[in-house]
Amino acid sequence: MNHATISELISSLCSNVQRLNDIDIDHLSPDDTVSVLEAVISLERQTQAVSARLQHRAHSVQVRANGHRCSATDAAVEHSGACVRSSATDRRLAAWADEFPVLSEAYRQGQISRQHLAVLRRVDNPTTRDALVEHQAELVNEAIARNWKSFTRHVGYFAHRHDPDGETAKRKAAQRRLTLTEHADGTVSGRFHLDAVNGQAVRNALEFAQQRLLQEDQDQQTNTDLDLSDDDAPILHRTDRGTGTGTGTGTGTGDAAADGPASGSASNGASTAQTAGTVNGGRTRSQRLADAFVELLRSGHQHGAVAPQPLVHIVMSQSVAEDTIRRLANPDSAAPQLDADNIDGRCEFQDGTPLHPTVAVAELTIATLQRVVFSTPNVVLELGRKSRSFPRELAQVVRTRHRAQCAHPNCDSPVAWLQTDHVQPWNRGGPTDVANGQPLCGAHNRAKADAA
């Protein structure tokens, strides 16, 4: 294409895209809103793919900008004010995708997004490479057919299936680290990186403790609101904290969660009222997390930590467990048949994040086992109409069945926020059993109660 044709193409494209702004968003029917949004998402993906490919290629094209020789990509990024870091990410992703022709093509067609590619790239390593190359087309189809959560889970299982001895999990466990930096004013910041099981344990311990502190804050707030003159209103439990120097301003960025497919759902459950930054009783969520962190370490140091309930729930099918143990004893025996969509192929955390079976089996030595028979959930696990609330064991089964996902679409509340709700309300004859139970986060449970 010559220069004139390119200019013409670009200006007609821009004016067509501009026409999207002519859509009167405020007066679209709900159905039209969905179809316009879907079309725009697809457009966005296609332009992103072109942009990433261009940035990758143009990086080796030299031009002059501001009197300096630089790459065409750098010149364009500089002129447009684009984020340098995200441009570099785009380039790396496009370079990676070059080695997977089917994935690249689907990316270009807008069938899969850069986020899909990024998830696949994260499981690419010497152990899984051949399988990724071989199953590109199948992975594209899964990306198209599944919603986000289900796709990331599918990819996790895919990676574990093609790494039967858990080489990746071993490498990841070896990468664990924690660094603390003490600053001149005595404050301390830290970073840590943990394997999946210990990462979940830390996340859940912090989240449960945070919830407890939130409850304390809210109780205190209520008491203050009720009677402002009451000098005996409970004072927040603050044993010898914050005295003298060395008050840790823990800016610990837990990047443990950012490594797995369920990246950081604890920190970005943004759709609910419990968002980070919400102030309750004077403390932000992230301050409560910091307080919880210190409190847990202090009490652990003093008494030896005794967890009131399991911090990590692993769901592993009996056949996966048996096959894994057999293979550990004899490397020639068959690898377990991992399958995210089959109860008998499951090996994951309660929230559906895939876990490698060799890691899960290693946890068996210190685990408490609860047997759940899924083929007959209503026969064994029901309390009928006798009990209104779900007892802990039943609630655990409901969570496991729903992969600890709030039933509200797109809600990614962490496990610690979930309550067990009657699908058909108890006061309208709904029984307390597994079939009629669903997890709902506090906010969505209240919203449902308010709407009823």
* Binding footprint of Zn ion on the chain (CB under 5 A): 406, 408, 411, 413, 441, 444
Q: Amino acid identity, residue 436?
A: N
Residue 440 beta carbon to Zn ion: minimum distance, rounded to whole angstroms: 6
CB of 77 or CB of 441, closer to Zn ion: 441
What amino acid occupies position 356?
H
- Which tokens go with 247? 């008050």
Q: In angstroms, how far is CA 433 from the centroid of its own chain?
A: 28
* CA dist., res. 74 & res. 88, Å (int): 10
Answer whether 244's CB lies under 8 Å from 449's CB: no
**Closest distance between Zn ion and the C-beta of residue 420, in Å?**
13
What does the block give as tokens for 284? 């932000």
Considering the complex, state which of residue 315 and residue 441 has its C-beta at the smaller distance from Zn ion: 441
Sign of the dihedral through C-alpha 438, 440, 444, 446:
positive
Cα separation of 35 and 33, whole Å?
A: 6
If you write DSSP's letter for every residue of 11-37 in order, what string do you get?
A: HHHHHHHHGGGGS-GGG--HHHHHHHH
**Who contacts 307 (Cβ-Cβ below 8 Å, separation ≥6)?**
205
For the four alpha carbons of 106, 111, 117 and 120, in that order, the dihedral sign comes to: negative
| Least gap, CB of 271 to Zn ion (angstroms) | 7
Nearest approach in angstroms of CB 152 to Zn ion is 18
At 303, which amino acid appears?
H
What's the maximum distance between 2 C-alpha atoms anywhere in the chain?
A: 82
Beta carbon of residue 291, minimum distance to Zn ion (angstroms, whole number): 25
CB of 414 to Zn ion, least distance (A): 10
Nearer to Zn ion by Cβ, of 355 and 441: the residue is 441
> Are residues 37 and 102 in contact, defined by beta-carbon separation less than 8 angstroms?
no
Residue listed under structure tokens 């030595």: 365
Closest to Zn ion by CB, 158 vs 390, is 390
Q: Which has the closest alpha carbon to 36: 47, 52, 25?
A: 25
CA angle 320-322-323, nearest 5°?
A: 65
C-beta of 113 vs 405, nearer to Zn ion: 405
CB neighbour class for 42 (10 Å; exposed up to 12, middle 13-18, buried from 19)? middle
Minimum distance between the CB of residue 441 and Zn ion, rounded to whole angstroms? 3
Minimal distance, residue 278 CB to Zn ion, in Å: 15
Amino acid at 434: V
Cβ proximity to Zn ion: between 114 and 408 the closer is 408
d(CA 129, CA 126): 5
Work out how close the CB of 28 gets to Zn ion at its nearest, in angstroms, rounded to a whole number.
26
- How near is the Cβ of 69 to Zn ion at its closest, in Å? 53
Facing residues of 437 across strands?
Answer: 422
Q: How far apart are CA 350 and CA 402, in angstroms?
A: 9
Shortest Å, Cβ 272 to Zn ion: 6
Nearer to Zn ion among residue 400 and residue 413 (C-beta): 413
* Residue (103 or 262) nearer to Zn ion, CB: 262
Would you say 209 or 443 has its CB closer to Zn ion? Answer: 443
Of residues 331 and 409, the one with the C-beta less far from Zn ion: 409
- Minimum CB distance to Zn ion smaller for 129 or for 446: 446
Q: What is the DSSP letter of 248?
A: -
| Shortest Å, Cβ 264 to Zn ion | 16
Of 381 and 441, the one with the shorter C-beta distance to Zn ion is 441
The b/e string for 390-418 (b: 16+ C-beta within 10 A; e otherwise) is beeebbbbbbbbbbbbbbbeebbbbbbbb
Q: Tell me the residue ranges of DSSP E strands in 106-217.
A: 177-182, 188-193
